[in-house]
Structure 1
Amino acid sequence: MNLQFIRMLDPQPEHVDAFNRWENDAELIPLTRPHQDQVAFDRRVTVTKEELLERLENHRHYLIYLDDQLIGEMNYMIDPPHLYSKEAGTAWIGITIGESTGRGKGIGYQAITYLEEQIKEEGLNRIELGVFEFNEKAEKLYRKMGYREIARLEGFTYWKGQMWSDIRMEKRLE
Protein backbone atom coordinates (compact mmCIF):
# COMPACT_ATOMS: atom_id res chain seq x y z
CA MET A 1 0.00 0.00 0.00
CA ASN A 2 1.62 3.21 -1.22
CA LEU A 3 0.19 6.08 0.85
CA GLN A 4 1.11 9.74 0.27
CA PHE A 5 0.06 12.98 1.91
CA ILE A 6 0.61 16.06 -0.25
CA ARG A 7 -0.10 19.62 0.83
CA MET A 8 -2.59 21.28 -1.51
CA LEU A 9 -1.32 24.72 -2.49
CA ASP A 10 -2.87 25.17 -5.94
CA PRO A 11 -6.13 23.26 -6.44
CA GLN A 12 -6.35 21.58 -9.82
CA PRO A 13 -9.53 20.59 -11.71
CA GLU A 14 -9.25 16.99 -10.46
CA HIS A 15 -9.16 18.28 -6.85
CA VAL A 16 -12.27 20.40 -7.44
CA ASP A 17 -14.03 17.39 -8.98
CA ALA A 18 -13.09 15.17 -6.03
CA PHE A 19 -14.21 17.72 -3.42
CA ASN A 20 -17.56 18.08 -5.21
CA ARG A 21 -17.99 14.31 -5.39
CA TRP A 22 -17.23 13.94 -1.65
CA GLU A 23 -19.32 16.94 -0.56
CA ASN A 24 -22.34 15.40 -2.32
CA ASP A 25 -21.79 11.71 -1.53
CA ALA A 26 -24.88 10.45 0.34
CA GLU A 27 -22.69 8.27 2.61
CA LEU A 28 -20.43 11.18 3.58
CA ILE A 29 -22.93 14.06 3.90
CA PRO A 30 -24.06 13.15 7.42
CA LEU A 31 -20.44 12.74 8.58
CA THR A 32 -18.79 15.88 7.24
CA ARG A 33 -20.98 18.88 8.04
CA PRO A 34 -23.87 19.71 10.37
CA HIS A 35 -27.45 20.20 9.18
CA GLN A 36 -30.34 21.88 10.96
CA ASP A 37 -33.16 19.94 9.28
CA GLN A 38 -34.05 17.65 6.35
CA VAL A 39 -34.11 20.55 3.86
CA ALA A 40 -30.53 21.50 4.76
CA PHE A 41 -29.52 17.84 4.71
CA ASP A 42 -30.92 17.40 1.19
CA ARG A 43 -29.20 20.52 -0.17
CA ARG A 44 -26.23 19.81 -2.40
CA VAL A 45 -23.21 22.06 -2.76
CA THR A 46 -20.84 23.00 -5.53
CA VAL A 47 -17.24 23.76 -4.67
CA THR A 48 -15.25 25.94 -7.07
CA LYS A 49 -11.52 26.38 -7.46
CA GLU A 50 -11.93 29.90 -6.06
CA GLU A 51 -13.64 28.51 -2.94
CA LEU A 52 -10.83 26.00 -2.44
CA LEU A 53 -8.31 28.82 -2.78
CA GLU A 54 -10.25 30.79 -0.13
CA ARG A 55 -10.14 27.77 2.19
CA LEU A 56 -6.37 27.68 1.80
CA GLU A 57 -6.17 31.15 3.34
CA ASN A 58 -6.98 29.77 6.79
CA HIS A 59 -6.69 25.98 6.39
CA ARG A 60 -3.71 23.77 5.72
CA HIS A 61 -5.09 21.13 3.34
CA TYR A 62 -3.39 17.83 2.58
CA LEU A 63 -4.50 15.45 -0.15
CA ILE A 64 -4.45 11.73 0.59
CA TYR A 65 -3.29 9.45 -2.20
CA LEU A 66 -3.41 5.66 -2.18
CA ASP A 67 -1.42 4.04 -4.98
CA ASP A 68 -1.46 7.38 -6.86
CA GLN A 69 -5.27 7.70 -6.60
CA LEU A 70 -6.71 10.68 -4.73
CA ILE A 71 -8.90 9.13 -2.01
CA GLY A 72 -9.34 11.87 0.58
CA GLU A 73 -8.25 15.03 2.27
CA MET A 74 -7.39 16.29 5.71
CA ASN A 75 -6.93 19.77 7.02
CA TYR A 76 -6.40 21.93 10.04
CA MET A 77 -6.95 25.52 11.00
CA ILE A 78 -5.48 27.43 13.92
CA ASP A 79 -7.67 29.02 16.60
CA PRO A 80 -10.97 29.02 14.65
CA PRO A 81 -13.94 30.69 16.35
CA HIS A 82 -15.83 27.39 16.75
CA LEU A 83 -13.37 25.91 19.26
CA TYR A 84 -15.07 24.71 22.42
CA SER A 85 -12.03 25.55 24.56
CA LYS A 86 -10.77 28.92 23.37
CA GLU A 87 -7.15 28.11 24.07
CA ALA A 88 -4.68 29.99 21.85
CA GLY A 89 -2.44 27.79 19.76
CA THR A 90 -5.08 25.12 19.10
CA ALA A 91 -5.43 23.30 15.79
CA TRP A 92 -8.91 22.19 14.68
CA ILE A 93 -8.66 19.12 12.45
CA GLY A 94 -10.88 17.49 9.86
CA ILE A 95 -10.47 14.42 7.69
CA THR A 96 -12.47 12.88 4.86
CA ILE A 97 -11.70 9.54 3.27
CA GLY A 98 -13.81 10.36 0.25
CA GLU A 99 -13.34 7.24 -1.85
CA SER A 100 -14.73 3.97 -0.55
CA THR A 101 -11.57 2.20 -1.77
CA GLY A 102 -9.67 4.02 0.99
CA ARG A 103 -11.95 3.12 3.88
CA GLY A 104 -11.32 0.36 6.41
CA LYS A 105 -7.60 0.12 5.71
CA GLY A 106 -6.15 2.11 8.60
CA ILE A 107 -5.56 5.15 6.42
CA GLY A 108 -7.43 7.43 8.82
CA TYR A 109 -5.02 6.49 11.60
CA GLN A 110 -1.97 7.14 9.43
CA ALA A 111 -3.43 10.39 8.09
CA ILE A 112 -4.17 11.79 11.53
CA THR A 113 -0.73 10.75 12.76
CA TYR A 114 0.79 12.69 9.84
CA LEU A 115 -1.44 15.69 10.53
CA GLU A 116 -0.40 15.66 14.20
CA GLU A 117 3.26 15.75 13.11
CA GLN A 118 2.60 18.77 10.88
CA ILE A 119 0.78 20.54 13.71
CA LYS A 120 3.61 19.80 16.13
CA GLU A 121 6.17 21.13 13.63
CA GLU A 122 4.18 24.35 13.52
CA GLY A 123 4.74 24.70 17.27
CA LEU A 124 1.19 23.93 18.37
CA ASN A 125 0.53 21.61 21.29
CA ARG A 126 -3.25 21.15 21.36
CA ILE A 127 -5.75 19.69 18.89
CA GLU A 128 -9.52 19.89 19.08
CA LEU A 129 -12.10 18.21 16.86
CA GLY A 130 -15.78 17.48 16.67
CA VAL A 131 -17.37 14.14 15.81
CA PHE A 132 -21.10 13.54 15.50
CA GLU A 133 -22.30 11.06 18.10
CA PHE A 134 -23.60 8.57 15.51
CA ASN A 135 -20.13 8.32 13.90
CA GLU A 136 -18.99 5.61 16.28
CA LYS A 137 -16.12 4.38 14.07
CA ALA A 138 -14.48 7.80 14.02
CA GLU A 139 -15.02 8.35 17.74
CA LYS A 140 -13.43 4.97 18.47
CA LEU A 141 -10.42 5.86 16.30
CA TYR A 142 -9.95 9.23 18.02
CA ARG A 143 -10.11 7.62 21.46
CA LYS A 144 -7.58 4.98 20.36
CA MET A 145 -5.29 7.83 19.27
CA GLY A 146 -5.47 9.54 22.67
CA TYR A 147 -8.25 12.09 22.14
CA ARG A 148 -10.58 12.62 25.09
CA GLU A 149 -14.07 14.02 25.24
CA ILE A 150 -14.33 17.56 26.63
CA ALA A 151 -17.97 18.41 25.81
CA ARG A 152 -21.15 17.41 24.01
CA LEU A 153 -23.06 20.02 22.08
CA GLU A 154 -26.65 18.76 22.15
CA GLY A 155 -28.93 19.05 19.12
CA PHE A 156 -26.04 19.97 16.83
CA THR A 157 -26.86 18.14 13.60
CA TYR A 158 -29.84 16.52 11.89
CA TRP A 159 -29.74 12.97 10.54
CA LYS A 160 -32.32 10.19 10.11
CA GLY A 161 -35.19 12.23 11.48
CA GLN A 162 -33.57 13.48 14.66
CA MET A 163 -31.01 15.86 16.10
CA TRP A 164 -27.67 14.51 17.32
CA SER A 165 -24.88 15.83 19.53
CA ASP A 166 -21.43 16.92 18.44
CA ILE A 167 -18.80 15.34 20.66
CA ARG A 168 -15.87 17.70 21.15
CA MET A 169 -12.53 16.02 21.80
CA GLU A 170 -9.01 17.22 22.46
CA LYS A 171 -5.49 15.92 22.51
CA ARG A 172 -2.34 17.47 23.91
CA LEU A 173 0.77 16.93 21.83
CA GLU A 174 4.05 16.24 23.59
Structure 2
Amino acid sequence: MIDATALAEKPVLHGTRIQLVPLSPRHAAAFHATFQDPDVRRLTGTHHDWTLAELQDWCNQAAGRTDRLDLAIEDRETGEYLGELALSQIDKDNASGSFRISLAAHATGHGLGSEAIRLLLDHAFDRVGLHRVQLEVFPFNPRAQRAYEKCGFEVDGRLREALFWEGEWHDVLVMSALALRRR
Protein backbone atom coordinates (compact mmCIF):
# COMPACT_ATOMS: atom_id res chain seq x y z
CA MET A 1 0.00 0.00 0.00
CA ILE A 2 1.34 3.41 -0.94
CA ASP A 3 1.88 6.01 1.74
CA ALA A 4 1.07 9.16 -0.24
CA THR A 5 2.20 11.38 2.64
CA ALA A 6 5.75 10.10 2.09
CA LEU A 7 5.98 12.25 -1.06
CA ALA A 8 5.18 15.38 0.93
CA GLU A 9 8.04 14.60 3.32
CA LYS A 10 11.37 15.72 1.92
CA PRO A 11 13.95 13.38 3.45
CA VAL A 12 17.71 13.53 3.67
CA LEU A 13 19.05 10.13 2.58
CA HIS A 14 22.63 9.34 3.54
CA GLY A 15 24.90 7.11 1.48
CA THR A 16 28.54 6.24 1.84
CA ARG A 17 29.87 9.05 -0.36
CA ILE A 18 26.79 11.09 -1.12
CA GLN A 19 23.61 12.39 0.43
CA LEU A 20 20.29 13.11 -1.19
CA VAL A 21 18.78 16.33 0.13
CA PRO A 22 15.63 18.26 -0.77
CA LEU A 23 16.15 20.27 -3.94
CA SER A 24 16.11 23.94 -2.97
CA PRO A 25 16.97 27.36 -4.40
CA ARG A 26 20.57 26.99 -3.18
CA HIS A 27 20.99 24.27 -5.86
CA ALA A 28 19.60 26.33 -8.75
CA ALA A 29 22.85 27.83 -10.04
CA ALA A 30 24.69 24.48 -10.08
CA PHE A 31 21.61 22.77 -11.56
CA HIS A 32 21.56 25.41 -14.30
CA ALA A 33 25.30 25.05 -14.95
CA THR A 34 24.89 21.28 -15.33
CA PHE A 35 22.35 21.75 -18.12
CA GLN A 36 24.63 24.12 -20.01
CA ASP A 37 26.84 21.12 -20.77
CA PRO A 38 25.93 19.83 -24.27
CA ASP A 39 26.70 16.22 -23.34
CA VAL A 40 24.42 16.33 -20.28
CA ARG A 41 21.66 17.76 -22.45
CA ARG A 42 22.14 15.02 -25.07
CA LEU A 43 22.26 12.17 -22.53
CA THR A 44 19.07 13.41 -20.88
CA GLY A 45 17.34 14.41 -24.13
CA THR A 46 16.80 17.93 -22.80
CA HIS A 47 15.59 20.21 -25.59
CA HIS A 48 14.32 23.03 -23.38
CA ASP A 49 16.92 25.69 -22.60
CA TRP A 50 16.13 26.29 -18.94
CA THR A 51 16.94 29.78 -17.71
CA LEU A 52 18.42 30.30 -14.27
CA ALA A 53 15.20 32.07 -13.23
CA GLU A 54 13.09 29.08 -14.34
CA LEU A 55 15.26 26.67 -12.38
CA GLN A 56 15.25 28.92 -9.32
CA ASP A 57 11.46 28.89 -9.46
CA TRP A 58 11.39 25.10 -9.95
CA CYS A 59 13.75 24.55 -7.01
CA ASN A 60 11.77 26.99 -4.86
CA GLN A 61 8.54 25.07 -5.48
CA ALA A 62 10.07 21.60 -4.92
CA ALA A 63 9.56 21.63 -1.14
CA GLY A 64 5.81 22.21 -1.49
CA ARG A 65 5.11 19.46 -4.02
CA THR A 66 3.15 16.59 -2.56
CA ASP A 67 2.91 14.50 -5.74
CA ARG A 68 6.63 13.99 -6.40
CA LEU A 69 10.04 13.98 -4.76
CA ASP A 70 12.90 16.10 -6.14
CA LEU A 71 16.28 15.66 -4.48
CA ALA A 72 19.75 17.09 -5.05
CA ILE A 73 22.74 14.76 -4.98
CA GLU A 74 25.52 16.20 -2.84
CA ASP A 75 28.99 15.08 -1.84
CA ARG A 76 28.56 13.88 1.74
CA GLU A 77 31.80 15.52 2.93
CA THR A 78 31.71 18.87 1.13
CA GLY A 79 28.06 19.42 0.22
CA GLU A 80 29.08 20.00 -3.41
CA TYR A 81 26.21 19.65 -5.90
CA LEU A 82 26.68 16.51 -8.02
CA GLY A 83 23.29 16.25 -9.72
CA GLU A 84 19.60 15.76 -9.09
CA LEU A 85 16.97 13.06 -9.29
CA ALA A 86 13.22 12.79 -9.08
CA LEU A 87 10.50 10.31 -8.29
CA SER A 88 7.35 11.44 -10.12
CA GLN A 89 4.24 10.42 -12.04
CA ILE A 90 3.05 8.37 -9.08
CA ASP A 91 0.17 6.02 -9.86
CA LYS A 92 -1.31 5.26 -6.44
CA ASP A 93 -3.69 2.60 -7.75
CA ASN A 94 -0.88 0.60 -9.32
CA ALA A 95 1.88 1.46 -6.82
CA SER A 96 4.20 2.71 -9.53
CA GLY A 97 6.16 5.79 -10.42
CA SER A 98 8.75 7.20 -12.77
CA PHE A 99 12.35 8.03 -12.03
CA ARG A 100 14.96 10.26 -13.62
CA ILE A 101 18.47 11.33 -12.72
CA SER A 102 21.04 13.73 -14.09
CA LEU A 103 24.61 14.05 -12.93
CA ALA A 104 26.99 16.93 -13.38
CA ALA A 105 29.66 15.98 -15.93
CA HIS A 106 32.42 15.85 -13.28
CA ALA A 107 30.37 13.40 -11.16
CA THR A 108 30.03 10.66 -13.79
CA GLY A 109 32.09 7.49 -13.93
CA HIS A 110 32.64 7.19 -10.17
CA GLY A 111 29.65 5.07 -9.13
CA LEU A 112 27.91 8.05 -7.53
CA GLY A 113 24.87 7.68 -9.77
CA SER A 114 24.43 4.04 -8.75
CA GLU A 115 24.68 4.99 -5.09
CA ALA A 116 22.06 7.72 -5.56
CA ILE A 117 19.73 5.38 -7.46
CA ARG A 118 19.93 2.72 -4.73
CA LEU A 119 19.16 5.28 -2.03
CA LEU A 120 16.13 6.57 -3.91
CA LEU A 121 14.84 3.08 -4.76
CA ASP A 122 15.13 2.03 -1.11
CA HIS A 123 13.04 5.06 -0.18
CA ALA A 124 10.54 4.49 -3.00
CA PHE A 125 9.98 0.84 -2.14
CA ASP A 126 10.39 0.84 1.66
CA ARG A 127 8.95 4.21 2.67
CA VAL A 128 6.60 5.24 -0.15
CA GLY A 129 5.45 1.68 -0.76
CA LEU A 130 5.86 1.55 -4.53
CA HIS A 131 5.93 -1.81 -6.28
CA ARG A 132 7.40 -0.62 -9.60
CA VAL A 133 9.66 2.26 -10.64
CA GLN A 134 10.31 2.92 -14.32
CA LEU A 135 12.65 5.12 -16.30
CA GLU A 136 13.60 5.91 -19.86
CA VAL A 137 17.17 5.80 -21.21
CA PHE A 138 18.63 6.26 -24.67
CA PRO A 139 20.60 3.41 -26.26
CA PHE A 140 23.42 5.90 -26.92
CA ASN A 141 23.90 6.13 -23.12
CA PRO A 142 25.19 2.63 -22.28
CA ARG A 143 26.96 3.83 -19.11
CA ALA A 144 23.62 4.88 -17.63
CA GLN A 145 21.96 1.67 -18.77
CA ARG A 146 24.66 -0.40 -17.01
CA ALA A 147 24.22 1.65 -13.83
CA TYR A 148 20.46 1.09 -13.92
CA GLU A 149 20.94 -2.65 -14.45
CA LYS A 150 23.34 -2.81 -11.47
CA CYS A 151 20.56 -1.26 -9.37
CA GLY A 152 17.95 -3.83 -10.42
CA PHE A 153 16.36 -2.27 -13.49
CA GLU A 154 15.53 -4.47 -16.48
CA VAL A 155 14.59 -3.45 -20.01
CA ASP A 156 10.82 -3.70 -20.52
CA GLY A 157 10.71 -2.48 -24.08
CA ARG A 158 11.63 0.07 -26.69
CA LEU A 159 9.86 3.18 -27.91
CA ARG A 160 10.95 3.34 -31.52
CA GLU A 161 12.23 6.68 -32.77
CA ALA A 162 10.80 8.61 -29.82
CA LEU A 163 13.60 11.20 -29.54
CA PHE A 164 14.57 13.60 -32.31
CA TRP A 165 18.06 14.87 -31.57
CA GLU A 166 20.32 16.85 -33.88
CA GLY A 167 18.52 15.79 -37.03
CA GLU A 168 18.23 12.07 -36.19
CA TRP A 169 15.60 9.84 -34.62
CA HIS A 170 16.61 7.71 -31.63
CA ASP A 171 14.86 4.93 -29.77
CA VAL A 172 14.11 5.13 -26.07
CA LEU A 173 14.50 2.10 -23.79
CA VAL A 174 11.93 1.71 -21.02
CA MET A 175 13.34 0.03 -17.92
CA SER A 176 11.80 -0.83 -14.57
CA ALA A 177 12.77 -2.10 -11.14
CA LEU A 178 10.36 -4.10 -9.02
CA ALA A 179 10.33 -4.05 -5.24
CA LEU A 180 10.28 -7.84 -4.90
CA ARG A 181 13.04 -8.51 -7.44
CA ARG A 182 15.49 -5.96 -6.11
CA ARG A 183 16.43 -7.64 -2.88
Normalised by the length of structure 2, the TM-score is 0.76
Cα RMSD for the two superposed structures = 2.2
**Percent identity over paired residues:** 23
Q: Which residue of 2 aligns with 1:59?
A: 68
Q: Does residue 84 of structure 2 align to residue 73 of structure 1? A: yes
Counterpart in 2 of 1:105? Answer: 110
Equivalent in the alignment of 1:157 = 163
Residue correspondence of structure 1 range 133-152 to structure 2 within 5 A: 133-152=139-158
**1:30 corresponds to 2:42:** yes
Structure with the largest fraction of helix: 2
Unaligned runs of at least 5 residues, structure 2: 1-15
Runs of 4 or more above 4 Å deviation: none
Amino acid at match of 2:20: F
Q: Confirm or deny that 1:170 pairs with 2:176.
A: yes
Q: Is the partner of 2:28 in helix, strand or coil?
A: helix
Q: Is the 8 A contact 2:40 2:105 kept in 1?
A: no
Query: Which one-letter code corresponds to 2:22 in the other structure?
Result: R
CA distance in 2 between counterparts of 1:169 and 1:21 reads 28
Q: Contact between 1:78 and 1:89, CA under 8 Å: does it hold in 2?
A: no
User: What residue number does 1:50 align with?
Assistant: 57
* 1:125 equivalent in structure 2: 131
Cα distance in 2, alignment partners of residues 146 and 163 from structure 1 = 28
TM-score of the pair, normalised by structure 1: 0.80
